[in-house]
Amino acid sequence: MRIGRGNSPLELKLPYRFDRPILAVGAHNKVAVALAWEDRVVVSQHLGNLDAPRTINQFERTIEDLQRLYAVEAEIIVCDAHPDYFSSRWARDQKDKELIKVYHHHAHASSLYGEQRLEGTALIFTWDGIGYGEDGTLWGGEALLGRPGNWKRVATFRPFSLPGAIKVAHEPWRSAQSLCWECDREWTGNPRENALLRHAWETGINSPRSSAVGRLFDAAAAFTRTLKQASFDGQAPMWLESISASKGKAISLPQHTRSDGVIEVDWEPTILTLLDESRSSAIRAADFHATMAQSLSDQTQAITEKYDFDSVGITGGVFQNHLLTEAVVRILASQQRPAIIHETIPSNDAGISFGQIIEAINTKH
């Protein structure tokens, strides 16, 4: 999802006023940049993934055009904390500007908080493909508690390795195979020779650890033989949603509190049900969606027992899945907890730059 061409650049009023102009450059995929000054923020059109020279040229030209058209020169540049993104490298090269680095999922949470003008303490679930986390691992299944400028991770999913690193986005079988190795299960759906991949997984070579729910959805698509090779990021979960039966049966995912106080959810039981080929792919897909929605509800309940908060929200690319989002909204509503969702700003990385603005302003304040 992205801001439509007829609606961009999108100008919004900020929930607060800030005197110094700020430019936010987004992350790496689905990039849009944002320019803020006083109580105004303008989010650019969709620019795309910063892999190709053509997209990079458009990225740099859009930054120049926004500042020229609005007669505003940024004094502060905000980028993703990931050190290797092109946008982060570009931001570091602007030596005459103050630089603020924002963690990926903090930006997601702040995007929702700022768009919906929330107040008080919020519990926001940030589920996506991957993003650089505070501990140096790749996050993507986090529950963050707090408000812009002060987020605390209170729940996550059991981490697992991503053999092949960035290749997992287009080869969902990699995540599936890794999960099977993690829980010592056999799987015959791997289309490649296992020896080298297994060695990389065992030694951690090009196999970063991640808690990303988006990669769990990739694996579910591979287990149900929905898609072996994706031509774009998010295709496997989209296909999984499309083949899913209308109603699934949730299973309980175990939770425990780690030594650092963070609740960790174990995905292993749902992997075992996905491997059961005696049931149809449609039923397994529906059960997986129902299980993930129920897990979010269970996490909310566990967090309620430890912390006070005023609202619950969901953000990140995973929640572009209508089946999942509708299930989450329905379950939380039954518990008298209305789910806060995006209405104007995209929930995926197209909304990161807006979230970076909100996070940076509150960090400076």
Is residue 163 predicted with pLDDT exceeding 60? yes
Q: Are 240 and 214 in contact (CB under 8 A)?
A: no
Give pTM, 2 decimals: 0.96
Band (268; pLDDT cuts 50, 70, 90): very high
pLDDT of the residue at 1: 59
**Distant-in-sequence, close-in-space partners of 111: CB < 8 Å, separation ≥ 6:** 315, 342, 345, 347, 351, 352, 354, 355, 358
Of the ranges 223-227, 289-293, 304-308, which one carries the lowest mean pLDDT score?
223-227
CA–CA gap between residue 136 and residue 103 (Å, rounded): 10
Domains detected in the chain: 5-116+347-364 (3.30.420.360), 122-340 (3.30.420.40)
In 3D, which of 83, 65, 86, 67 has the Cα closest to residue 75?
Answer: 67
CA–CA gap between residue 75 and residue 33 (Å, rounded): 15
25 CB-side CA count, 13 A: 30
The residue-averaged pLDDT of 136-147 equals 98
Helix intervals (H) in 70-151: 86-93, 104-115
CA–CA gap between residue 297 and residue 103 (Å, rounded): 25
Q: Are 67 and 74 in contact (CB under 8 A)?
A: yes
What are the backbone angles phi and psi of residue 140, rounded to the nearest 5°? 160, 5
Q: In this predicted model, what pLDDT tens digit does every residue of 4-54 receive, in sequence order?
A: 555 568 999 999 899 999 999 999 999 999 999 999 999 999 999 999 999
The residue-averaged pLDDT of 167-195 equals 90
Task: Please provide the size of the chain in residues.
Answer: 365
CA–CA gap between residue 4 and residue 9 (Å, rounded): 9
Q: In this predicted model, what pLDDT tens digit does every residue of 66-100 receive, in sequence order?
A: 999 999 999 999 999 999 999 999 999 999 999 99
What sign does the dihedral 229-234-240-243 (CA atoms) show? negative
Q: Are 227 and 170 in contact (CB under 8 A)?
A: no
The residue-averaged pLDDT of 145-174 equals 96
The residue-averaged pLDDT of 322-342 equals 97
Is residue 304 predicted with pLDDT exceeding 90? yes
Exposed (0-12), middle (13-18) or buried (19+): which is 276, by Cβ within 10 Å? exposed
Is residue 226 predicted with pLDDT exceeding 90? no
Is the bond into 269 cis (omega within 30 degrees of 0)?
Answer: no
pLDDT of the residue at 229: 83
Is residue 252 predicted with pLDDT exceeding 90? yes
pLDDT of the residue at 191: 75
